[in-house]
Amino acid sequence: MAQHKSAIKRIKTSEEDRLINRSYKKRMKRYMKALLSEDNKENAEKQLKETISLIDRLSIKSIIHKNNAAHKKSRITRYVNSL
């Protein structure tokens, strides 16, 4: 266990960041799952816009890698176009 005050603070902030990042990732997965189960093209296009926006924000914040974000956006866009 950490002994220095700065190390203790770092552990605390790292844990807080981990939980925040985890909630963002879960939210992204929830959005994607809802989009991929959508059958109506109009609703899917609305959800696509929101989902891509969220993925871009996570990529900018370095919560997910930019190539991972590009892969996810490509996948959901391909699905919506196939409807």
User: pLDDT, tens digit, for every residue of 11-40?
Assistant: 999 999 999 999 999 999 999 999 999 999
DSSP-based three-state secondary structure for 64: coil
* Neighbouring residues of 77: CB distance < 8 A, sequence distance ≥ 6: 48, 52
Examine the pLDDT at 1 and tell me if it is beyond 90: no
Question: What average pLDDT does this structure show over 34-53?
Answer: 94
Q: What is the mean pLDDT of the chain?
A: 95
DSSP state of 8: H
Does this model's pTM top 0.75? My answer is yes
* Neighbouring residues of 78: CB distance < 8 A, sequence distance ≥ 6: none
Residue 74 to residue 40: CA distance in whole angstroms: 19
**String of DSSP letters for 32-49:** HHHHHT---HHHHHHHHH
Question: What average pLDDT does this structure show over 65-80?
Answer: 96
Q: Which domains does the chain have, with CATH numbers?
A: 5-82 (1.20.58.110)
